[in-house]
Structure 1
Amino acid sequence: MGYGTNEFLYLKGGVVENRPEFYSEATDKRRKNFRVMLSRYLSSPLPDMKVWIHLNGEVYHSVTDEYGYFSSWIDPIKDYEPGWHSVNFQIRKPDSDEIICETEGEFLIVGEQAEFGTISDIDDTILVSHATQLFKKLRLILTKNAKTRLPFEGVANFYQQLKANGNPFFYVSSSEWNLYEFLQDFFNVRKIPKGPFLLQEYKSGFRDLIFSGGGSHQHKQDKIKRLMKLFPHLKFILIGDSGQRDTEIYREALVNYPDRILAVYIRKIGKKDKFDQETIQEFKKRKVPLLLLENTQDAIEHARKLGVITYY
């Protein structure tokens, strides 16, 4: 899912081989779930593949990098209404018009009517993941699927309220692109608002599966900066958890964009039950609410008082 405005549109995708289609059911056995998840990390990215991008009668081209990704910044030739629109991607045989692979993508146009945007983490913010507990995390990853994994209670309700009036959602996560369609399926099943996923680079191999979601989180900071620059008229609510570095990342966003942050909600995970004094003072100085929350209902009540949602 791409995103942008009628001035700048960002599209991204990946080209891989040996990657079967995944259709999960709530009744799937653990063995199937394990096999499907493993296959997500054993398929091979294809570099130097030319991609045809068909958009509103125009054709654009991109080429995959060494990790099998392509991305393009496009200046649309027509204005789109705010909301979701389709785009066609094709791969053709070299020096031929024969299509060997074709798929439909989507992109979100954010309009001027949006009151604010929401940037949310996924693991242990929306999706129960136990990201800081290796064995619990592996048990969930390897034995369950998008139909049987659970969100935190109340998340769908809270996010649907934040989404009212066309307010956009962006999911900036350290999950890898390998999990893209798993996340799409999970969000659809749990009725969590649709939004572009801004994930960590594609990984390959069983070791990368074991340590999924780890590594540097610098990419989160980079992607938040991209969103801030692309949508200069928008202020944002930031939502994360205390299990990794979300507070630190959101504090940097506050420093870089002091007038663009409405509130920061951090879900309490594990033993991390307080913020350091330097962080607290930074948010106080900027007069931006920073809350460490036990449950989603507390976030709903605060957002209602803040005036960003109007009902329960």
Structure 2
Amino acid sequence: MAVVWQFAIIELDKKTLFTGVILEEIPFVYQKQISKFQNLQKLIRSYFIQRAINQKITIRIGEEKVQTQTDKYGSFFVAIDNFKQNPVSITLSDDFPLEIIQKYPIKFKNTSGTFDVISDIDDTIIVSYSANFYKRIKTLLTNSPKDRSVVRFTSKLFEVFCKKNARIFYISKSESNLFNMLTTFIEHNNLPKGSLILTPYLKFHELFLSKKGKDFKINYIRFILENSENKKFVLLGDDSQKDLEVYTIIAEEYPIRILKIFIRQTNKIRPKSHGAFWKKLQAMEIPTKYFKSMDDVGEEINLF
């Protein structure tokens, strides 16, 4: 029986984004603490679930119908104008509403805050060891979400952002298979329940073939900025992958929209490949902070 996974309705100033994945069976959902072996077993199984690929779907919003189609990964992405807070359902060709499998929020309303936050996930809110492939895989496979470590600085900074009525957009190159693991971690650590934008739901063999380029993040961040009027944004990431490069490109394209950029240093030494991007950011005079520990950013929190 097909189900809807990672469904989100993200309200922006100009458009409302509907995004999600259609799977052919129900994936595992964390409901209680599980053992390391169970975590390994459930996670691996998620990469063998079939996706509803290239299928026509109908999104019903009250009496209105929006037609779209899933892609080769079972994902859909559609933006509509003038969204009204009506009941929403999703159907395939048989016109029977699909079950939405998640306890995490679906609707993410706009706020009246003067700025919003775009945050990475791995090594930005959750310690993932992204720079070390074997350590990252071991941590992912053996540690359940409630056993994973939170990045303390990010947790403290989010508390300040929420008081300013800023909402969080989590944009990560983690695949959709990890959606429930990540949302369980967010809820367990009392982090803001922001919308998650993840890369496609993968089959096992695609883990070794899929290339998650920086364009994925850039395109989604552009979409959010271009449909958010003149609201400013804080960009939060780390130096284990391409956050610094992505945020530099975004800052060059939207310099007056970027309020501040935070980059967490994940190793003892900063990657040499990041030097050119760091210099570009400094030349643009956009407020930036490349930090290593909570002690490096204590004063920064008081500036918001």
Shorter chain as normaliser: what TM range? 0.7 to 0.9
SS where residue 164 of structure 2 aligns?
Answer: helix
Structure-2 change in CA distance of 1:21 and 1:37 (3 Å): closer
Q: 2:248 aligns with which of 251, 261, 285?
A: 251
Structure-2 change in CA distance of 1:87 and 1:167 (3 Å): farther
Per-residue deviation, 1:92:
4.7
Per-residue deviation, 1:165:
3.5
Per-residue deviation, 1:274:
6.8
Q: Which residue of 2 aligns with 1:267?
A: 264
Q: 1:5 aligns with which of 6, 9, 12?
A: 12
How high is the TM-score relative to the length of structure 2? 0.86
Q: Which residue of 1 aligns with 2:67?
A: 61
Q: Which residue of 2 aligns with 1:286?
A: 284
- 2:238 & 2:92 partners in 1: Cα distance? 43
SS where residue 51 of structure 1 aligns?
Answer: strand
Per-residue deviation, 1:98:
4.0
SS where residue 147 of structure 1 aligns?
Answer: helix
- 1:125 & 1:286 partners in 2: Cα distance? 24
SS where residue 44 of structure 1 aligns?
Answer: coil
Does residue 1:43 correspond to 2:49, yes or no? yes
- 1:114 & 1:184 partners in 2: Cα distance? 24
Structure-2 change in CA distance of 1:253 and 1:149 (3 Å): same
SS where residue 14 of structure 1 aligns?
Answer: strand
Q: Which residue of 1 aligns with 2:108?
A: 108
Mapping for residues 70-219 of structure 1, pairs under 5 Å: 70-76=76-82, 78=84, 88-92=88-92, 94=94, 97-99=95-97, 101-103=98-100, 106-111=106-111, 113-205=112-204, 208=207, 215-219=212-216
Per-residue deviation, 1:87:
5.3
SS where residue 172 of structure 2 aligns?
Answer: strand
Contact kept, 8 Å, 1:274 with 1:292, in 2: the verdict is no
Contact kept, 8 Å, 2:170 with 2:195, in 1: the verdict is yes
Q: Which residue of 2 aligns with 1:83?
A: none
Per-residue deviation, 1:140:
0.9
Q: Which residue of 1 aligns with 2:4?
A: none
Q: 2:36 aligns with which of 10, 30, 45?
A: 30
- 2:180 & 2:209 partners in 1: Cα distance? 19
- 2:162 & 2:271 partners in 1: Cα distance? 29
- 2:230 & 2:56 partners in 1: Cα distance? 35
Per-residue deviation, 1:108:
1.9
Partner deviation per Cα, 1:265-307 (whole Å, 9 max, x = no partner): 1111124437765434433332212222112353342131xx3
Question: Which blocks of at least 5 consecutive residues in structure 2 are unaligned?
Answer: 1-7
- 2:54 & 2:209 partners in 1: Cα distance? 28
Q: Quick one: percent identity of the two aligned structures?
A: 25
Contact kept, 8 Å, 1:158 with 1:300, in 2: the verdict is no
SS where residue 45 of structure 1 aligns?
Answer: coil
Partner deviation per Cα, 1:62-104 (whole Å, 9 max, x = no partner): 22122211222112354x6xxxxx853333563xx444x3227
Tell me the amino acid that sits aligned with residue 235 of structure 2.
L
Tell me the amino acid that sits aligned with residue 106 of structure 2.
E
Contact kept, 8 Å, 2:56 with 2:93, in 1: the verdict is no
Structure-2 change in CA distance of 1:47 and 1:237 (3 Å): same
How high is the TM-score relative to the length of structure 1? 0.84
SS where residue 15 of structure 1 aligns?
Answer: strand
CA RMSD of aligned residues (A): 2.5
- 1:58 & 1:10 partners in 2: Cα distance? 15
Tell me the amino acid that sits aligned with residue 90 of structure 2.
Q
